[in-house]
Amino acid sequence: MEKAVSKIPEFRQYYLSEFEFFDGDEFITFNIVGINVTRNTVAIAVSDRGKISIIDFELMADKDGNLYFEYGCTFKKIYLDDFTEV
């Protein structure tokens, strides 16, 4: 199964974009640090309860071609299009 991740528009569009996710208890902030098209991964700086980590997530594409990664134990889909410039 081939993923459409290689069709990512120019990386600068996403660089350091931010997204906040409420997990039911606290807000978690995601910032895009890098995208690796050859490995189909996105490097995200995750700020969660005062702890900042840089994590590589596998990029996936849904049936409409929208790019996302899965986060947490419930595998919540976080779409790159939901990120905004800071």
Question: How do the pLDDT tens digits run along the chain, 86 residues long?
Answer: 445 454 555 555 666 788 999 988 999 999 999 888 889 899 999 999 999 999 999 999 999 988 999 998 889 999 988 888 77
Say what the pLDDT of residue 1 is: 43
Q: What is the pTM of this model?
A: 0.77
- Of 5, 2, 23, 18, nearest in space to 61 by CA: 5
Percent of the chain as helix, strand, coil, to the nearest 5? 10, 50, 40
